[in-house]
Amino acid sequence: MPRMRLAKTKKSAKKRFKITASGKISYRKSGRRHLLGHKSAKRKRQLGKPAVISETHTHMITESLPFDHRA
């Protein structure tokens, strides 16, 4: 009897997204690595805060993450 093929974790999604304790998906915003001299302090401060994925797109990311994160 052949074994059922399991879906693999997408390594890129694993590195970019984190599941919070409440089940939301957070990620780091881009634009905070280099070329910071011309960006305003407010903009850099806002980029430092983690963002949360909207409920509309969570199913796309949870399909790419390991099985224990699926609802």
Mean pLDDT estimate for the chain: 87
| % of the chain residues with pLDDT over 70 | 85
**Is beta strand 51-52 parallel, antiparallel or unpaired with respect to 17-19?**
unpaired
Rounded CA separation 12/22 (Å): 22
The pLDDT assigned to 70 comes to: 56
Fold classification of 11-69 (topology level): Factor Xa Inhibitor (4.10.410)
pTM (2 d.p.): 0.73
The 8-class DSSP code of residue 29 comes to P
Q: What share of the chain is helix, strand, coil (3-state, %, to 5)?
A: 30, 10, 60
pLDDT bracket for residue 67 (50, 70, 90): low
The pLDDT value recorded for residue 66 is 74
Question: What pLDDT is stored for residue 68 in this prediction?
Answer: 63
Residue 16: how many other CB atoms lie within 10 Å: 13
Q: Where are the domains of the chain?
A: 11-69
